[in-house]
Structure 1
Amino acid sequence: MIPVTSSSDTDRYRNAEPVATQYLRRERPLSTLLVVLAVSVFLGAYLTTSLVPAMGVAVAEVVALRMPVLRTHGTARLSTDDDPDAVHAAFAGPRPPVLALQWGIADEVTAEGDTATYTISYLFGLGSTELVVRTRTETTTDGGERVELEVTENGRPWGSYTATIRRDSDRTIVDVEYGSDRHIGLRRLPQTLVARRYRDAILEAQDYTVLERYSHIV
């Protein structure tokens, strides 16, 4: 069940949103540039040949950009001064720290039970996508807490995160395993690359130190 939002959660949201805005300002122009380049190639083919060959180029572009060829996965170890109960509440809440680049740019965040929904617009509001986050929690054998996040995009698998939370001396350690649940096309490459640049910064804005990270695109 999603915990009630506390004042500390509100501060965390407020600190993360400027970083998410910076991410959006870099990601959207790059994604738009990819579309512009594809249109330019089509127009170039049309002007130098004829409509039929140009249509062939357009079909090839669509196939190349949408063909599912990339998949991301990795691990990260985080550290924070917050106590394990507060960290568990944050990861099991409607705005988990590891999804801040998503809820930080959402037009609307709603929550019901153990499910949160982020509605994100694009193309100047002409389109939108819906991310649904389902949360499961359990206690580990050593007395720690584990939070599992399953994310879908418009009803299709998107990604999953598993956060194992434990106390270590005067700090709380969070071991995160994450990965995309489907291969993505090259059209998502700008989004993926820009997210890699901002993912640690947005965690630090929420008072989490990234001790180590291993990330792969395959």
Structure 2
Amino acid sequence: MAVDFKELFGDFKNGLWNENPIIRLVIGMCPTLAVTNSTENGLAMGLATAFVLIMSEIVISLIKNLIPANVRIPSFILIIASFVTFTDYFLKAFFPAIAASLSIFIPLIVVNCLILGRQEAFASKNPVHRAIADGIGMGLGFTWVLTLLGAIREFFGMGSIMGIQLLGAWYRPMVIMVLPAGAFLTLGILVGIMNLISREG
């Protein structure tokens, strides 16, 4: 079967901007608003979600013709849960501080509508090479927005980025930025800016 690289690039690019899960489709809001109070948390959550998304898309695309239609969704969830469990134990073993910080939100990747939605809408209907491109694009799209959101909130809320203090003692941190309300405000402004850029383009 011939591989259409233009089509593959389109699948990849969609997740980065045109169909970005957060700023375009507005899905996966739970971790987006809950764990992005620091750059490190946003990056870690984004990468963990991206790993689960890519691996589950590969597996589901490979075995899609073997899954009976009446158990399709439970099968998808089982596959996703396997990769989430691996990710959870990996973080606890090698990055315990990050695992503790992200807490329950790693296991909750199982029910992230981004993950299940891509399996149903894309991986189960397309060949594996397209599923990989889609998974990488959506995963990176999710990750860059979470990281940017975390960086903005950490900078204004603590005067630092990635734990490195950038602003001196003179700076009075905007406490609201590390609270849930700060997540809503920052995300709203970010979505507005992205929409403005798209309109100008």
TM-score scaled by structure 2?
A: 0.28
Larger Rg: 1
The structure that is strand-richer by fraction is 1
